[in-house]
Amino acid sequence: MNRFHRNRGTLLTTSVALMGVMQLVTGVLQAQSTEDRGPLVAYVGTFSSPLKDVLSTQVDLPPGNGRGIHLFRVNRDTGVMTPSGVYEMGTSPSCLALNATGTRLYSTNETDRVGKDKEGTVSAFSVNRADGQLTLLNTVRSGGAGPTYASIHPSGRFLLVANYFGGSVSVLPILPDGRLGHPTDVKDDVGTIGPTGATNAPSGSFAISGHDRTHAHMIQADPSGRFVLHVDLGLDRIFVWKFDQQKGILTPNEPHAVSLPPGDGPRHFHFHPNGRWFYSIQEEGSTVVLFDYDAELGRLALRQTISTLPPGFAGSNFCSEILVSKDGNFVYAGNRLHDSIGIFSIGSTGELTFLGEEWTRGNYPRSFSFDPTGRFLYCGNQRADSIAVFEVNRKTGSLKFTGHYAPVGNPSHIVFVDLATAD
């Protein structure tokens, strides 16, 4: 063998060795980088009260298999959830809200009843930035019975609460240390109760849930914070309020509300990232409605109605969650009893096209949430006592089941905090 071949062999051997070292170093650096970023934590609100403590009019609350707020570590690459603790609560913390910095968590305690008016309560927690564990700050009355939804005003100074069984919405101040003050305003829903049969229900549907009285189901500010919107399922209406960001007071906008078809029962809504399109999901009508939103005047104008179910479906279905993807290209709509997530593309004018549906791998999907990157969707199957994890195809909008279930009793709501970015 001549010197050239010997030198070439030596060079190749050295190159391979160097490549191996570089790959090892890169892997170590990547692992260190992941560790340095801090953990991604999921909080899961649950129904955790015994059936005998649940209000008799509640039709979808199981015997309370949850234990309170369940904590999970989330693998950023696979989406797998690993249990990391439980904050024990027997009051059904069914909805959770995180502040913008991920340092405070708030829960609506849906089956808690205090005082002669049997009001519900809301709790405030601090989040440990090292491990995500929770410390209770305080618990206050929610301003009505059965608080089922809470959101934080964009100013970070107020918690907005929808009291489902009280048929009211309330505003609670968030104090500088994260604790909650007593309500600065409470508004009772007033109007004519809709019929038990939904206008747009599928053929043969017996989906009758909330048309016995007023039922405030969701409340949230618009992106500017100037207006606050809330839905009442029993009244089939979406209300719009002007919001005083200094005093925490709600004043009726003009017009004060828009009506959905009788009996359809608006439940949740989600703004498109552009702030101009507003999507409402109807629990009993099994529809998604697109509204144009005038941000200057706080006005909604209905433009499209589309079913959440595949063509030809007949039978009962209760809609649940609705989410717009962060890139604004897709809408996801939850179907309970049909146990699917309807997937829609968003056109250039905001109108929806039904693409198909994905089986939720469990029954009664009450809610679902994206992880902070939008790569994974986590579906809480309330009556299956589990969360199913799906990978999102961000080009097509389709969902692919990862094969991973996280066991948790009666999951109701899922939120995430990235402790690497919490401040």
Mean pLDDT of all residues in 357-368:
98
The dihedral built from the CA positions of residue 261, 381, 323 and 183, taken in this order, carries a sign that is positive
| Residue 16: its H or E element | helix 3-37
DSSP 209: -
Render pLDDT for 30-72 as a digit per residue (tens, 0 to 9): 444 444 567 999 999 999 975 444 444 444 455 589 999 999 9
pLDDT for residue 23 is more than 80? no
What pLDDT is recorded for position 136? 98
Which has the closest alpha carbon to 231: 289, 273, 152?
Answer: 289
Mean pLDDT of all residues in 252-261:
98
Pairing between strand 93-98 and 81-88?
unpaired
How many CA atoms lie less than 13 Å away from 355 in the CB half-sphere? 20
Which has the closest alpha carbon to 71: 112, 130, 31, 120?
Answer: 130
Chain-centroid distance, C-alpha 4: 67
For residue 302, report the phi and psi dihedrals to the nearest 5 degrees.
Answer: -65, 135
Q: What's the pTM?
A: 0.90
Contact in structure between 103 and 56 (CB atoms under 8 Å): no
Q: Domain segments of the chain: what residues?
A: 38-418
Tell me the one-letter amino acid at 109: N
Tokens of 122: 């809301």
pLDDT for residue 19 is more than 50? no
Of all residues in the chain, the percent with pLDDT exceeding 90 is 83
CATH architecture of 38-418: 7 Propeller (2.130)
Identify the burial level of 403 via C-beta atoms within 10 angstroms of its C-beta, where 0-12 means exposed, 13-18 middle and 19 or more buried: exposed
Tokens of 60: 């979808």
Which has the closest alpha carbon to 125: 421, 407, 417?
Answer: 417
* Spatial distance between the Cα atoms of 70 and 411, rounded to a whole number of angstroms: 9
Tokens of 145: 């019975």
Render pLDDT for 100-159 as a digit per residue (tens, 0 to 9): 999 999 999 999 999 988 899 999 999 999 999 999 999 999 999 999 999 999 999 999
Which has the closest alpha carbon to 49: 81, 18, 92, 82?
Answer: 92
